Every structure is written in structure tokens, then in C-alpha cells.
Amino acid sequence: MNNKMNKLNLTLSLAFIAQITFAQSSSSESSGYLFYGVVALCAVLIIWAMLSIASNLMKIEGAKHGIKEEKMGFFPTLKDFIKPIKPAFINEGSFHHLTKGYDIKLAGEAKPIVENASVSRFAIRPTDFHGMSPIPKMEVEAGADVKAGDVLFYDKKRPEIMYCAPVSGEVVEIRRGEKRSIAEVTILADKELRYKTVQAPDVNKAERSEVVSFMAANGLWPLINERPFDVVPDMATIPANIFITTFDTAPLAPDNNLVVAGKEAAFQKGLDVLSKLTSGMVHLGLDGRGKTVPSSAFSDAVGVGKHWFSGPHPAGNVGIQIHHVAPIKGHDKVWTLTVQEVITIGQMFLTGQYHADRLVALTGAELKDPKYVRTYQGASLGDLLINNLTGDNNRIVAGDVLSGTQATAEGFLSFRSDQITVLKEGNDYELFGWLLPLAPRPSISGTIPAYGGKDFKFEANTNTHGEKRAFVVSGQYEQVLPMDIYPQHLMKAIISNNIEKMEGLGITELTEEDVALCEFACTSKNPLQSLLRQGLDTLKEQL
């Protein structure tokens, strides 16, 4: 934005000067005025350049001594005039305004009405957890009756960490995939859920180890995601910090104010539990864009660090927030959770029961009725979408369009997803589609006309809009990633399998969702998310 304004100003002033000089040279025969005008202009430019270098040097020196940048330097920068307006409701905590990124505005936003979904089948998939052995040890058999919170299976490498049933009912199928790996454990849910009730330790009095082993034994541990690598953490790990983002900027993402409504106490309890687990702090990323006021459960949470973020997607991604609050250094581990997962942890410590209910946003232009439904982890997509699809050339995405996974109506929500997006398949040819894009499509490029203005909601389809090419240095990745990282160099390091370079370029700070927007914007249509995962897997093997 700032950069664009500068360019615009420069172009305008150059055009203006050219206009004057041209008028002069045509009106009088002698071109002396023009010449001296140019010399004077150059002199002014040189003086300005020297002053601004001096001013920048002062700022750098000032920064070494801990003086804030704004207090040093000669000139008011353009930033001073168009400073981000900090919303009035921000009461405490730091404020970060991010300028890089892009909001993909799609049609089919969920209406803020919550309905209870009638879903009969739920599944937990071992494949949702990176690094888990393909054949976990099953604690139940097909036909067994389970309560919500009963153990379903555990990883043989880490037998203390239990994976539990989100609902009560009958285990109807244990579906096997390749080489007898376990793909899905499906439960046919009861009409009225029955919960296994346990005695939760008192967070204020209990030891950390007691809390940890309680969480692992009752299915709460897999809710925690560890960065780098996006894995379920080891029980011995003590994280440097825990990060929770309370808003989601991804296309059509659910509104966390709705999620937390009525569950404020459980959320706070969850935060209290997590504070016990880290050597650092629990950090909340809050919505500082100013459009909506965050729920008081977020803004008035106690015992946590608060950080407000404003700016386009990916400002709501936890990875971006970590980068701006307390970047992952060396071999540090950082844990991340979503709001719904914190609530589940809180409810366990409040009631002693495993409440894995999830508010799921049904979104996308191909839905008759986009809305919110209340269901449980791993709900069947077919049941959620019944009588809601228009047409049959659709793609169902479990998650958002950037980092979700492709699914069918026979599939299930993944362990962490809280959104379903349905959009049109783009499997048709388009005459001169690359040159004359007639149908509106989202793009970060100014060369594609913004039909319908700034707030137009696109009905995007899944067409790739071009073929795969080699990387071309076009600066698009950097334009949409508000981090101090060079994504293209990192991707090339991954392709060439250069582990040292990968680490040096900051691979440990990234996971798939952070580079998803770069992948969307990529001119060469390269699969950045799968490349990044490949790099993370290689790095993990080396450790």
C-alpha cells in the first residue's frame, strides 16, 4: 500500500515535470530552461537522497539503543499520514498492522444462524496426525459400544497418548487402507450422547505432570498441535509459548465469536490449563481489523498475553502471529490450538467429560443454504450437506479453499477442521481465458479487472487458470506473506534438498496454511504446500 502510494506519487510528479518542461521547450526556441530545470531537479533529488539515508542511519542506530523508530529521523514518513487506525475497543496488548496479504472474497458466507445438525456417523482418522504410525493399536473392535471420551486407539510409539471417541454409540467400521493401515474408525452415534465421566485434577493445585498425564489419558493431548512440523507433541516437551488465534481470515472462515458464545467459562478454564503447561506464556491473537468487536471471552481473558492483528489474510493465521510476537528460535517448540480445542480442554476440566462438539460453517457458492451447524469432531460430510447442494459438478472441501482437503460426500471432517466449502469444478476450456478473462476471478494482480468493485464476492471455481511452469521471480510470494522470509528461495532449497539452507531460510516457522496464499497467487502454479510438507518431513527425519 505504502509502496504503491510512493510509486504513484513519483509517476505523477515526473509526469508533471515533463509537462512543464515540454511546454517550455515548445514555447521558446532555446532549451536552456529545460536543461537548468533538470539540473535543479537532480540537485534536489540528490540532497533528498542524502538526507533520507542519514535519517535511516539514525533510525538504525536508534533501534540498537532501543529507541522506537518513529521517534528518530528527519521526515514524517508516508506511514505517519496514513497510520493504521487502531480500533477504539483495543484496551490492552500490542497492536500489529500487517500490510502484506490478500483477502479472497468469496460468495457463500455462512449466515450467522446456528442449527443442530442431524449427523449419524462420525469418524476419527489416524492419518490426520502427522508422524503417527500407520497401524495404531486399536482398543476397540467393530461392534463395540463406546461412550464419548472412551479410548479408540493409541500410537504404539507413544502408548501414553490416547485418542478418544468424540461421540457415544457403536463402532460400526474400522476401515483399512494400504498395507492394512487404519484409515478410519467410524462410530454410529446414539441419539442421546452418553459421556464417560472422570475426576479432573484441580488446575490451581495440581502438579504440571499430573495435568499432563490426565490430558494424555483422556484424549486431550492430540488436540495440541506442535510447531515446527505440525505434530502431536511428546509428553516430555515443555513449549516455549502457546499460541491461540481467536480469528480466522481465510476465505469464508467461521466466526469465532459465534463459536465461543455461551462457552466463555470453558474457554477461560482451557487457557488456565494451558498456562500450566508452558515455560513461557499463552498468547492470544485477537482481531484488530475493527470490523467486528471480539467477544469478551477473548478480549477480557486473564492470564494471557494479548496481541491484536489487523490486515488482510493471513493476519489471522497463528504462524504469522507467532512470527510477529515471539518467533520460533533454534530448537524451540511452540504449541498452537484453535478456540474450539481450548473449549474442549476447558470443559473436560470443568465437567470431567470429553465434549468434542464443534461449530462447523457450511460455506460456498454452491450451497443452497450456507449456515453454521453444531455437530461433533469427524462428522460425516454427506450428513452435514444433505439436501443443501446445488448442481452436481461440485468440489467438497473439508476446510477452507486454501488449505482444506478435497473430500467426497462419503468422507468425514478431519480432526481439526471446522468448515466445509463447496465450490464449482472449473473443468472446462475458456477461449482466450488467459488474455481476456471475462468471468470474474480473484487475483492479486492489478491486470485482471476488478469487476464489481472492491467488495465483490467471487464465485471462484477450481480451474488452475494456466499450466504449471518453473519458478519465475515475480515477487508475488513476498507480496502476500507478511513474514521476514523469502518463500521462493526456501522452496528452491527444498527442491534441491539442502537442509542447512532450509533451516537458514526459516522453514521451521512455516506450515502449509502459511504458504497457502502464496500457492494461490503463484504465477507458475507450483504446489508450494506439498513442497513445504516434503521439506518439513525431510528435516524431521534428520533431527
Partner 1 sequence: MGLIDFLKSVEPDKKNSPLLHTAYDAFFTFAYAPNTVTKAGTHIKDGMDLKRLMVIVVLAMQLCYLFGTYNIGHQHFVAAGEYLGFIEGFHLKLAHGLIKMLPIFVVSHIVGLGIEFIYAAKKGHAVEEGYLVTGALIPLIMPPDIPLWIMSLSIIFAVIIGKEAFGGTGMNIWNIALLARVFIFFAYPLTISGDQCWISGFEKISDGAAANYGWWHTGLFNSLFEWMGLTTFDTTTTVVNGFSGATPLALAYEGGWEKVTSVFSESQMIWGAIPGSIGRQ
Q: Which residues bind partner 1 (CB under 8 A)?
A: 21, 25, 31, 34-35, 38, 104, 395, 397, 401-404, 406, 421, 423, 425-435, 437, 441-445, 447-448, 460-467, 469-474, 476, 516, 519-525, 527-530
C-alpha cell at 527: 504446489
- The minimum distance between CB 35 and partner 1, in angstroms, equals 4
CB 476 within 8 A of CB 486: no
Find the angle CA(456)-CA(460)-CA(466) to the nearest 5 degrees: 120
- The minimum distance between CB 403 and partner 1, in angstroms, equals 7
Which one, of 271, 269, 266, lies nearest residue 284 by Cα? 271
- The minimum distance between CB 450 and partner 1, in angstroms, equals 11
CB 310 within 8 A of CB 383: no
Which residue, 286 or 515, has its beta carbon nearer to partner 1? 515
Where in 52-157 does DSSP place strands (E)? 94-97, 111-116, 121-124, 137-138, 145-146, 151-154
Which residue, 199 or 447, has its beta carbon nearer to partner 1? 447
| Cα–Cα distance measured from residue 432 to residue 441, given in angstroms and rounded to the nearest whole number | 14
User: 300: which residues sit within 8 A by CB, 6+ positions away?
Assistant: none
Q: Which residue has the cell 499450466?
A: 467
Which residue, 299 or 394, has its beta carbon nearer to partner 1? 394
- The minimum distance between CB 449 and partner 1, in angstroms, equals 10
Which residue, 104 or 215, has its beta carbon nearer to partner 1? 104
Which residue, 80 or 467, has its beta carbon nearer to partner 1? 467
Which residue, 330 or 475, has its beta carbon nearer to partner 1? 475
| Cα–Cα distance measured from residue 364 to residue 52, given in angstroms and rounded to the nearest whole number | 49
- The minimum distance between CB 287 and partner 1, in angstroms, equals 23
User: 89: which residues sit within 8 A by CB, 6+ positions away?
Assistant: 293, 294, 299
- The minimum distance between CB 522 and partner 1, in angstroms, equals 7
Which residue, 360 or 521, has its beta carbon nearer to partner 1? 521
Find the angle CA(517)-CA(519)-CA(523) to the nearest 5 degrees: 115
Which one, of 223, 119, 120, 125, lies nearest residue 174 by Cα? 125
Which residue, 41 or 235, has its beta carbon nearer to partner 1? 41
Whole-angstrom Cα Rg for the chain: 27
- The minimum distance between CB 268 and partner 1, in angstroms, equals 35
Which residue, 169 or 442, has its beta carbon nearer to partner 1? 442
Amino acid at 284: L
| Sequential DSSP letters for 469-487 | ------SHHHHH--SS--H
- The minimum distance between CB 470 and partner 1, in angstroms, equals 3
Neighbours of 57 (CB within 10 A): 12
Which residue, 81 or 429, has its beta carbon nearer to partner 1? 429
Which one, of 186, 102, 149, lies nearest residue 445 by Cα? 102
Diameter of the chain measured on Cα atoms = 99
- The minimum distance between CB 243 and partner 1, in angstroms, equals 23
- The minimum distance between CB 521 and partner 1, in angstroms, equals 5
Which residue, 184 or 425, has its beta carbon nearer to partner 1? 425
- Cis upstream peptide for 442 (omega within 30°): no
| Cα–Cα distance measured from residue 222 to residue 47, given in angstroms and rounded to the nearest whole number | 61
**Residue 74 DSSP SS3:** coil
| Cα–Cα distance measured from residue 42 to residue 45, given in angstroms and rounded to the nearest whole number | 5
- The minimum distance between CB 242 and partner 1, in angstroms, equals 28
